[in-house]
Amino acid sequence: MPTLSELIPAEAVRLDVAAADWREAVRAAGDLMVATGTCTGEYTTEMIENVEENGPYIVIAPGFAFAHARPSPAVLRTGMSWVRLAEPVEFGHESNDPVSLVVALAARDSGAHTEAMAALARLLGDPETERALREARTPEAVQAVLAGRETPERQSADGGTSVHKILTVCGNGLGTSLFLKNTLEQVLDRWGWSKHVTVEATDTISAKGKAGEAVAILTSGEIARTLGDVGVPVKVVENFTSTGEVDRILRDTYDVQ
């Protein structure tokens, strides 16, 4: 699988970009992927339409939006872009606005980028690395931080003995839900529960059919409203990279003090 630094080369990084609103911010990220041969301009339109249809659930942590859409013919190859804004913009998120960093993903399928998403979630969840990325002065400096801090994808330790399943859900099952999946797995590792609980990232449509297999669903407020009553607890997470918040939600789910 491609690494995070391979998916985000220096040519796909722009810093101090001026954007009047969230659409311009997403468009700037999309234009970078077009310029690097990742997708056509139609994919940028699809990313914007994803937010218009599903709400600002892509703002998965304070100041950070992860722009993406479903795999489509507009995607030429799996790739990403990184846009740090000159001035933050509002996406309409209740708690994570305003946004100063937009990372965009165009994926050919739902699996090729899983390792890179896990690496990115870990990087942005680490205060030291997040600060280094925020203060980087050139695209090459950003790319160097990404390349230097990558870690291997977490290996499953369930050994086939898992008895519970938790779903992490986003609009299309291959973007923000993977961030939340990785954060939840970090908490489960810390608890020593990885042998007993599996985590599956999925989309809203599939989640409704799979809800009966799960003990809980973790997602954003926007997606929770879309799901409605699915017969299992739906827990809203505001910061998809915060192990502290996910830890509190997991304790509430299992009534652990």
Burial 88-109 (b: 16+ CB within 10 A, else e): ebebebeebbbbbbbbbbbbbe
196 among known catalytic residues: no
Find the Cα–Cα–Cα–Cα dihedral 24, 26, 28, 30, rounded to 10°. -140
Closest CA to 65 of 29, 31, 14: 29
* Catalytic position from the list 68, 93, 113, 164: 68
Q: What residues contact residue 176 under an 8 Å CB cut-off, 6+ apart?
A: 57, 58, 60, 66, 68, 170, 220, 240
Residue at 87: amino acid letter = E
Neighbours of 64 (CB within 10 A): 20
Catalogue the active-site residues: 68
